[in-house]
Structures are given as structure tokens and as C-alpha cells.
Chain A
Amino acid sequence: MQTKTSRRTFVKGLTAGGILGGLGLWRAPVWAVTGPGQPNALSGTDFDLFIGESPVNFTGHSRIAQTINGGIPGPLLRWREGDTVTLRVRNRLKDTTSIHWHGILLPANMDGVPGLSFKGIEPDGQYVYQFKVRQNGTYWYHSHSGFQEQSGVYGPLVIDAKEPEPFQYERDYVVMLTDWTDEDPADVIRKLKKQSDYYNYNKRTVGDFIDDVASKGWGAAVADRKMWAEMKMNPTDLADVSGATYTYLMNGQAPDMNWTGLFRPGERIRLRFINGSSMTYFDVRIPGLKMTVVASDGQYVNPVPVDEFRIAVAETYDVIIEPTEQAYTLFAQSMDRTGYARGTLATHAGLSAPVPPLDPRPLVTMDDMGMGGMDHGGMAGMGDMSGMDHGSMQGMDHGQMPAMDHSAMQDMQGMDQSEMSTMDQGDMPMMDHGAMPGMGDMPAHPASEQGNPLVDMQAMSVKPKLDDPGMGLRNNGRKVLTYADLRSTFPDPDGREPGRTIELHLTGHMEKFVWSFNGVKFSDAEPLLFKYGERLRIVLINDTMMTHPIHLHGMWSDLEDENGQFMVRKHTLDVPPGSRRSYRVTADALGRWAYHCHLLFHMEMGMFREIRVQE
């Protein structure tokens, strides 16, 4: 392989096109992972990584990718819980680079975010990461500099548990799903800034309108078009970047390269799915096989048997399967149904199973966007919460509710109003649901969203939607995993009630391709301040029509159910449009941390905040 920067023996023998033969991990009796079929796994406590350029060819056209140790993905790193690992990362690019260990608890200066954790790794420079591994499970790592992640600077990370795991298996494969474009990622964002629907070739046409008239009638079809036209939005807007430029990869292999993992009949296999994409959600299934989800974001969950799951960008899911046939297709279609990543599990190399067709493309509905049931014309009046029925609250016996925690409310008053405006008690949206059946909660919106040219919509009715499989997966005849199915195998690891609540709205402007929290882009925003040791609640309300995977560095995100009870510990939380999701955070990591949407171009356009955990 012509790796410009390669001087290392462990990358020799790889081919330029598919770079990796596979990431299969034979579950060896001793803790060792080298062996046939897995040339690119590194284990131990001492690692040398270099970030450089390598030629690749996923599409028939040769391109220069940015790679870790010459591979896409980078080498599988295998750590052991409790070890102290040392990773020397060398930069052979012309630009500053970095590696962020996604979902890993570590000291602030090891987190790998230039400007927040360290200054980055200069060209020809080296940074030595060293920290104690305090967790186990399936994770990944990637560059946090510019668009390098889209160019190939990512890899899988597996940490073996110190204690026995709550499930058993005989074989173990990483399945890393990513999106590749032959274009320079900087060109992709330039195009999106000029024409945000550049990559959407599935917009509704005159023909679709005629079909709708035929099926729904003239009035309904016109009303639907009118509503979308007035919102200046497009119901086919499921992904900003699509298969029009992306080739979807499974373990660094394009669909027709057919990454294959081998097994022996009767074996139980652990598949470690990692979504290392820049912009793509995948819906994953293995036709003919149930999958039992046993971990999410590296953390054990109570087993859930499913046929299919949606994996948000940056999430990981571990599943156990028990194949009995000769061959199965691993099928991961992009959420917008413009392509898929695909591979095979088989008893012999060269076998394959049928590849299912892409599912029908869903349309975003007003319900999806938190606009459900609203009379569009009447929206203007909703800002004053005229639908609130205060009378319905009179039944509450305040004497029995000492926990109606006013001190917490007072805490809120000291907070930056532009960030958290919603503690205004006059605004408390205790709506009478008897009067508004089927509606979610009407959220109050922060002042910084009001009259903001960079906020193109505000959800009027939001729900946690934890049991919603999501757009394109509802009622498809398959058991689809939802967040409501996820329960950590352990109780709330903190157990304290959150001392305060930070509410943040996910905001943006589709046409201008601007993304932000509370209508304020990163470069205009002040850091959010956490006090070391505190337990707090973050409430996210999605005021956009896109789904956003929100990732907090350095600390866990403990997702709550509708009643504010601990459900599952994660590092990346999907927040679909029209949803309100809450989670708890224990601020147990001093320093400055990144908090952002993990859609790369959303993050880079401003949906990012610094969080400072201070004494």
C-alpha cells in the first residue's frame, strides 16, 4: 500500500481499496487479538498511532483519505479495563489534528478537543495520551479537528471488562458503519451553505402531487402542500447529505466489497455496532435473525430481542446473535433510504445472502416535527400559552408537596436568561390535556430564539417519544428497538435528585444551514458552567425538523423516562424532531468539555457548546 507516511510494519500487506481485510475478532482464550483476518487490531497498554494520508478507492475513483495508521477505519484498539494506556499520536498531515476517545472518562487534557483539552497536534508533532481505563465496552475514537472525521480519521475501540460480562458468546466482531464521500468535505459544506438541499434528490414533484390528489383528494393534497410551503420546509428532508455523494461503508468496505465475518454453526456472536458516520443514521437488521441488544454506548443494558435498530451517529450497540443458517446479510440502510452499508456473516468465505431492497422513504410529518394537531393559522397566538388551564392544578395539595422545590427555582433565576429562559413561572406550561387531546407538552422557548433570523421553527408540542421507533420504522412489521426498551443493568449510579435543570433547545435554519443551541451558535455563546460534583438535569427540546445526536464529553448522560426516572446510561443521545428528552449528568470531571450535535456539519456550523466543570 502506498501509504505516504507509513514506516510501520503492521500496516503492510493491506490493500489500498478495501484497506482492511476485516475487523473480526476471534475470541481467544487468552487476552490476545492478533491473528489471521484481523491485521489491524492493536492491543495492550502501549500504542503508536499516526495520522496521515492514504490513497483509497471506494467508488471506482482513487482519492486521498486521511487515515489512522493507514487504514479506514483506523486500527481496532483493544484496551483492558483497569489498565493505564499510553497512546502516542503522531501527525503526518499538513494541518493540526487530534484524537478524541469518544465516550471515555478521562482527565480533561486527554480528551483531544483542540482549544478545550489541549492545543491540538501540530504537523509533524506528537501528543502522548495517557490515562487509566475506568470502563469497558464498545466505543470509538476520531479526530476532533475540522472535517478530518469525514475524511477517514476514525476507528473502533473495544475495552475488555475486568469482571465477567452478563452475557456469553463465542465470537466477537466490530461492525463499524461510516459514510464516505469522494468530495472534499469542505466542498460538501460549501455546497450546503449555498443550497442546503443540494444532496436531496427525493423532493416531491408534480407527479407526487398528482398522486396525492388521486389518493387523498384535491383539498387534502393542496392543504398539505400549502402547509409545507408556508413553513418553508420540505418533508423529504431526512438527511442533509445523502447517497448522492456518500458511499456507506461497513468496516471500511463498500457494499459490493461485502465485508464478511465468518462463524461456525452453533456459535453465539457478539456484534459491536459503531456508527462512526459524519452525517448518517443507519437502520440495521439481519434478515432472518433476531438480535439481542445487550449494551448501548458501551454500557450493559437488560437484554432486548429486536429485529432492527436505528443507530444514531456516534452511538454504539452490542448485540448477540445465534446464527443457524449458512449466510446472513448485515443490512444497514441510511435513514433517508438513499443507500446502505452491507456485509455478510457466513460459515465460509464467498457465501452471501440476498440483500433486501431499501425500505420506502418516509416523509416527515407535522407530528414528527412537534407541530401535530396545531392549526397552522392559529400558531401566532400560541406564544402566550392561552391554552393553559390553571384551574386544573387546583387539586394539588401543596402541603403534601414539600418537594415543589422552590429553592431549585430560585437557582434558576440566577441563570443566564438567554440560555434558560423557561423557569418563568408564569410560563409554566401545565396544559389541560383534557382540552387538547393527543398533544404533547407545549414548550416555552428561550428569549434568544425569539425574532432570531437563524431559527426557522419552534416546536409547538413536544413529547419524549422514547417508545417511538422513529420516522420510517413505525409499523414496519418488525420489532424495532426504541429508547424505551433500554434499561441499564444497574440502578442510577448517582441516585441524587438533580439539583437544577438546564433546558436547551436544538435550533437551526435549514435553508441557511445554520445550527445552534437556543438560537446561539458556538462562536457567539458563553460556556455552560457546571459545579464539580453536582448532579443536574439537562432537558433538550428539538426545535428543528432534523434529528440530532447530542454528545457530552467527559461525563455520562443518564437518560430519564417520561417521569424523570433513570433509564439508561449513554454517551450520545438521539433527540428526534418534535421531542423533549431529559437526562441527568453528574459533573464529576473537572475542566472544559465539548457538548455538541455529532452530525459533523451541524457541529461545525455551531451546534456546539463548551461546558466548564468548575470547583
Chain B
Amino acid sequence: MTRHIQSPLLSMMVMAGLAQGIAAPAWAAGNAMPGMDHSQMQGMDHGQMQGMDSMQGMQSMEAPRTTSRTPIPELTAADRAAVYEDHGGHMMNDSALNSFFLINQLEWQDADEGSALSWDASGWIGDDIDRLWLRTEGERTNGKTEEAELQALWGHAISPWWDVVTGVRQDFKPDEPQTWAALGIQGMALYNFETQATAYLGENGQSAMRLEGDYDILLTNRLILQPTAEANFHGKNDPARAVGSGLSNTELGLRLRYEIRREFAPYIGVTWNRTYGNTADYTREEGDDRSEARLVLGMRMWF
């Protein structure tokens, strides 16, 4: 079996010869099967067509082997004793609890009435299918909390890209606290395009719907432009909280962040909020503009 390699060329010739040697029986066999149209057979999936392999055994004009060329040893007591019988099993990390908390927006805003601090964060803890989701958003203007809400949702993956979420939402502001039941879906509609649609049923018979989306546009692998959009709908007027039925308000944002690390990215951006219908009327009654653009500076973080 000793072969002295003298040159790559020789080796190549040896290889070529071997390749031919291997290929030849298969061709011969093909010719011996006049009934078969090989041009039609190429697509056969041999793994699923057991018989084809057996056929090749037949073709090589050699009785199929019933025993291994390399003898398979008779089992001994030692072989049996070597089998580890504790069925605690192998430990893996494939069912570990994981978590992700993203403060997508934590920012100072240059608002008409002064300066505002705004936040929007979400996160989860759980396994790959079921997760406890937390969402919070809110705003403080001139040191006073104008809006603040927290949602706690159970999310269940129903497809590779979509989760159903259900749980509660607690509003702390505006006005008196208000509790909602929440039901929605969230997921990735397109690569880098995260979306949420959530319906809420409030304790006083109010109903609401929120649609949210954000998309990452990579200017470079660290400089990322993120457009965001949010729209809120309500079932009926709630003058105390200055929301009207129908489409109440939209919030559009465009933020440019630089990922110093993935986890830590300062950003600059603009937002444009607008109220509609009855909500716009309430806004005007309060002496505010129905639309407002703001310059924002903030920090995106996750852990």
C-alpha cells in the first residue's frame, strides 16, 4: 500500500485514474438497464428511494453483502458494562432563560413648552417560544410627568416571525391612572423592520389600538438611521385625557445613532407629532398646536 509521492502531477494522474475506475462500473450498470431513462432519473432523491441503492449493488454484478467486511465484534460483558445508564442526560444551554431589554429611546426633546424627557423601552425574559414582555413609554415636560405607561405581556411565538402578546397595560398619566387589557401581535415584517399592533380595552369601556414600527437603515455598520412611526386610535372620546375617537395621534421619528458598542449608541434626531379629529380639537382647546416638531438628543442602550 506504500505509495511514494514523487510529484503532485503524478498524484493527480493517480487520482484521475482512480476517479475513472470508480465511475466506470456505474456507467456499465446504467447501460445494463435499458428500461430506464437516466435523463429522467437524475432528480431522484436517493435517500428517499431506498431501492436505487440496492439496485446499484445489483448492477455491480456482485451479490450484496450480508455481513460487514470489517467484522463487527460480538458484544462482551465489558462492552455492556461500558454503557452509561444514568439517564439524567446531557446538560445543554438550549432551554436556558434569556433576556433582552432595549431602551430604544431615552432622550431630551426641545419641545414648544420647554424641554421634555421622553423614553420608550421594551424587553423580554423567557425561552425561545414564550416570553414575558415589558414595554414602557412616557414623557416628562419641565419636570412634570405628562404621560407614563407600563405594559406586561405574555408573548407566544406563533410563527418564525410573529408573536401573539396578551396582558395588561397600566397608564399612570395623563389624568388618573387607568388599567387596560391588551392583546396584540408583534414581529418582524421585513428584515430590520419591527412592528407591533396592539388592541387595548380600558376599565371604563374605552378601547384603543396602537400601531408601531421601526426600521434600521445602515448608513455604515455603526451609523444607523432609524425611522419610527406610531399611531393611536381610540373608541370613544375621553376629554379628561384629551383623546378623541378615531385616529387620535401619530408620532413620527427619525433618529441617527452611532453604535460605539452594539449596546450603547448616542443619537440625534427629529420627531413630528400630530393630533387628529376630536383629539386635535382637545389639543387646540388646551392652547397647543395640533402638530409639533422636536429636535431630540438621546441614548439608545440595551442589556
Residues of A within 8 A of B (CB): 107-110, 113-119, 146, 163-168, 189-191, 193-195, 198, 200-207, 228-234, 268, 290, 292, 294, 302-305, 320, 392-393, 395-397, 400-406, 408-409, 422-423, 427-434, 436, 439, 441, 443-444, 451-456, 485, 487, 489, 491-498, 500-501, 503, 509, 511-512, 514-515, 521-524, 532-533, 535, 537, 539, 562-565, 580, 582, 586, 588, 590-592, 594, 603-606, 608, 610, 615
Contact = CB atoms under 8 A, between A and B. Distances in A.
B28 interface: no
B51 A290 contact: no
B75 to A, nearest CB: 6
A563 B54 contact: no
Contacts of A436: 43
Contacts of B9: 305
Q: Which 5 A-B pairs have the closest CB atoms?
A: A403-B54, A404-B51, A397-B35, A539-B47, A305-B8
A302 B84 contact: no
B45 A292 contact: no
B172 interface: no
A431 B43 contact: yes
Interface residues of B, number: 88
A393 B40 CA distance: 7
B176 interface: no
A234 B65 CA distance: 48
A511 B35 contact: no
A485 B15 contact: yes
A493 B72 CA distance: 11
9 contacts: A114-B90, A230-B190, A234-B191, A292-B5, A401-B51, A428-B49, A485-B15, A535-B68, A590-B75
B36 A396 contact: yes
Given A203-B221, A405-B51, A232 B79 contact: no
Contacts of A393: 40
A145 to B, nearest CB: 8
Given A114-B91, A522-B90, A429 B45 contact: yes
A422 B191 CA distance: 31
Nearest to A393: B40
A497 B191 contact: no
Contacts of B272: none
B93 A604 contact: yes
Interface centre among B1, B92, B218, B219 (most CB of A within 10 A): B92
A17 to B, nearest CB: 26
Contact of A493 (B70, B160, B193, B262): B70
Contacts of B49: 404, 428, 430
Interface stretch (B94-102, B146-154, B204-212, B226-234): B94-102
Contacts, number: 302
B48 A422 contact: yes
Contacts of A202: 221
A523 B92 contact: yes
Interface centre among B36, B50, B95, B159 (most CB of A within 10 A): B50
B217 to A, nearest CB: 6
Nearest to B49: A428
Given A230-B190, A395-B37, A590-B75, A194 B26 contact: no
A452 to B, nearest CB: 8
Interface centre among B9, B53, B190 (most CB of A within 10 A): B53
A305 B12 contact: yes
Given A205-B219, A495-B68, A392 B40 contact: yes
Interface stretch (B56-64, B111-119, B241-249): B56-64
A400 B89 contact: no
B177 interface: no
Given A166-B2, A487-B22, 15 more contacts: A118-B84, A164-B1, A230-B191, A234-B191, A404-B50, A408-B50, A428-B45, A430-B43, A443-B45, A453-B159, A487-B19, A492-B69, A494-B65, A496-B66, A590-B83
Interface centre among B3, B82, B90, B218 (most CB of A within 10 A): B90
B240 interface: no
B11 A305 contact: yes
B44 A430 contact: yes
Contacts of B79: 107-108, 590-591
Contacts of A115: 86, 88-91
Nearest to B18: A302
B4 interface: yes
B218 A497 contact: no
A592 B85 CA distance: 9
Nearest to B62: A495
A422 B79 CA distance: 34
